Amino acid sequence: MKKIRICDLDQLTDPGSRTFSLPQDDTAVEGFVVYKDGHVSAFVNSCPHTGAPLNWCPHQFLDVEAEFIQCSLHGAIFRAKDGFCLRGPCVGESLKSLPVALEEGVIWVSFD
């Protein structure tokens, strides 16, 4: 398993989010981290409904209240902690999570 440095924790607000790319063979997988209520989560940037990217604009994954992750395409709402869909066409499904670690103030994501 490989590990990639995403950013320093103090580069994110709480709540906040950031996009990153994971190098994979000849392509890259887009992902994002969410920092909310002192908890860091990481997910693949792909809606389970259509496969479309979730973000509204660069690094913007949270709804206007900064409470939930929201799909920019059809408005599905996901919990920030675990990516579980609470409302929308993919209710009951989850975002694909990625192993994330916070080490000495740095956010790291692991991948194959």
Mind listing the domains of the chain with CATH numbers? 2-111 (2.102.10.10)
b/e 19-34 (16+ beta carbons within 10 angstroms → b): bbebeeeeeebebbbb
Give the phi and the psi of residue 58 in degrees, each rounded to 5: -50, 130
pLDDT digit string (tens) for 89-109?
999 999 999 999 999 999 999
Helix, coil or strand: residue 10: helix
Residue pLDDT, tens place only, 13-49: 999 999 999 887 777 889 999 999 999 999 999 999 9
Q: Which amino acid is at 40?
A: V
Q: Where are the beta strands (DSSP E) in 13-68?
A: 16-24, 27-36, 39-44
The 10s digit of each residue's pLDDT in 51-104 is 999 998 999 999 999 999 999 999 999 999 999 999 999 999 999 999 999 999
pLDDT at 26: 76
Beta strands in the chain (DSSP E): 2-8, 16-24, 27-36, 39-44, 69-70, 77-78, 85-87, 100-103, 106-111
